[in-house]
Amino acid sequence: MIIHTVLPGETYFAIAARYGISLSLLLQTNGISDPDSPIIGQALVILKPALTHIVTRGETLQSVALRYQTTLRTLLRNNPVLTASDPPQKEFTIFPGQQLVISYETTPLGDVRSGGYVYPFISPSDLDQSLPYLNDLYLFTYGFKADGTLIPITPDDTPSVNAAEKLGTSPILVLSTLGEDGLFDSGRASALFSDPAAEDRLISSLLALMPQKGYRGVDVDFEFIPPDQKEEFAAFVTLLKQRLAPQGYSVTVALAPKTYADQPGLLYEAHDYAALGNAADRLLLMTYEWGYAFGPPGPVAPIKNVERVIDYALTEIPREKLLLGIPNYGYDWTLPYQRGNPRAITLSPKQALSLASRYGAEILFDQDAASPYFYYTDGQGRAHVVHFEDARSFREKLELLFRKGLSGFTVWTSMYPTPSLLRTANALFRLS
């Protein structure tokens, strides 16, 4: 895999020709819809096919997979055009004369576990484009009342769970302390921890719901827990694991990004890495939000900050249990930044590129943070800066997790497919 940074005067056609690939493959790989508008500084993933197949009459995707001793999921990852229909096809159809990529000229670093968070209102077409790359799909979020009564996810999660199962991805139920107002409610968790009957009610409800829905595990995302309840939090996760494990369900815990054990702050203090590491099957490091909507402009996940969190986590938790959280978004700040100004606008990587294209901005790259950014001036004469993620920043994080020996990564969020992330992960690793 090569990542090419667009230079002034280059065209997509010339870039494709330089690397000996077709223009259509370059555009498909990077999810580009407008072939005439390259952006200076844009990072492009370059993948060269090693083996291709021309479809003949009567062949199906399954028969092609069998012929080359590969899997349906691999073919879908290698040929993103197959999952790009809107609405999604009931079956992934191919036609005579169509060229399919069986494999690319890549040497995978190894095997990793991959996952992504989504809300149940994700569009079916966006979901289908991401699922072939994901081992786990985290449905955000179920909640609970103080007495342990489970609050259902809304809207109905059944379509997303069914779509995940269809493509061999494990649905994971996310259980959080998010309240009806959309904010994390620490009092709800405190009440739960102090009432054994409430804990039993909640866990029993989960055990009844999960086989009915088709979930394979639970992800516990409890944030802003009072510091004096860190032991109760770990005890709850331990109890959850004891009740779920005999039924074959996994337990994951989302961890605030700490760099040392007694790091102060309501977000961090009740997240005891060692205790929660002992209690759960997997631990997700939420390594993002250094640059955030209400704060000063900056990279969402600067690589040195991410590495410091990983290094601390490895002193407390076995590396085979750790998942790296990867942000799939950025922010647009109005300048000059002043505390109390309107919050920054959240953007997907694709939206950030569209914004750069609209205003003719050049994308720059912060080598120290391993993160792209650009400036522009809007129609009202206001200056802006945008920090986001692209193929280069994704590669830095993915290679870091491999060097550190982590078991995999989970994306916040997979609400919008991001070709640069998906294709980079597929090129660097073997995704089962």
Active-site annotation, residues: 223
Q: SS3 sequence, the chain?
A: CEEEECCCCCCHHHHHHHCCCCHHHHHHHHCCCCCCCCCCCCEEEECCEEEEEECCCCCCHHHHHHHCCCCHHHHHHHCHHHHCCCCCCCCCCCCCCCEEEEEECCCCCEEEEEEEEECCCCCHHHHHHHHHHCCEEEEEEEEECCCCCEECCCCCCHHHHHHHHHCCCEEEEEEECECCCCCECHHHHHHHHCCHHHHHHHHHHHHHHHHHHCCCEEEEECCCCCHHHHHHHHHHHHHHHHHHHHHCCEEEEEECCCCCCCCCCCCCCCCCHHHHHHHCCEEEECCCCCCCCCCCCCCCCCHHHHHHHHHHHHHHCCHHHEEEEEECCEEEEEECCCCCCCCCEEECHHHHHHHHHHHCCCCEEECCCCEEEEEEECCCCCEEEEECCCHHHHHHHHHHHHHHCCCEEEEECCCCCCHHHHHHHHHHEEEC
Q: Tell me the HSE value of 49 on the side-chain side, using a 13 A CA sphere.
A: 18
Rounded-to-integer distance, Cα 61 and Cα 67, Å = 10
Q: Retrieve residue 49's tokens.
A: 């096919």
> Are the beta carbons of 42 and 29 closer than 8 angstroms?
no
Please give the single-letter amino acid code of residue 144. Answer: F
Q: Cα dist. 103→29, 71, 91, 129, 426 in Å?
A: 14, 11, 22, 18, 11
Q: The tokens 């804990």 sit on which residue?
A: 199
